[in-house]
Amino acid sequence: MKSYYQTNYISSFGDISLVCDGKNLIGLWLKSQKHFDSELKAQAIYNDDLEIFAKTKAWLKSYFKGEKPAISKLSLAPIGSEFRQRVWQILCEIPYAKLMTYGDIAKIIAKEKGKAKMSAQAVGSAVGHNPISIIIPCHRVVGSNGNLTGYAGGIQTKIKLLEHEGVDMKGLFVPKHLSSL
């Protein structure tokens, strides 16, 4: 059986849980986040002395200071299907302060698979189940026409992250059914 380890990081955005396999970061969740892998965290042994945690905390510190650390500085190994892995790779390619739609990602994957089209809803599910939020920037994905659709960490956190990164928020809006979240 594989061993997992956890630690915590306190940020200006709230408490963050980190989980690794000893070498690779496999999870990063905000305390209030949906799709928090409580089973994985329950299996994890607390250990704050691992190199991957030190690197991740340094990355987060840099990010929250307003810098733009490279994702490639971290060894990431999110657990998910081949489809989800590909979606998460595309997320990592979205530059700071830029946005992409679920439909844009679906078009990329459809083209790669030689299909006429791909479900934006399937992409949305993969984005929503991103196990390494903030670092794998699922908050940079919006709905068509600039809809700020759901975010597992809460729509207000998504807005704060986008503002933190300097995204031009003009033209983006929260759908009425999400505005009370």
Marked catalytic residue, from 138, 141, 152, 167: 138
Note whether 143 and 101 are within 8 A (CB): yes
Q: Find the angle CA(138)-CA(76)-CA(8) to the nearest 5 degrees.
A: 80
Q: Is residue 138 annotated as a catalytic residue, yes or no? A: yes
Indicate the angle between helix axes 102-113 and 120-128, nearest 10 degrees: 110
Note whether 39 and 144 are within 8 A (CB): no
Candidates 133, 144, 142; CA nearest to 169 is 142
Q: Which residues carry out catalysis?
A: 138
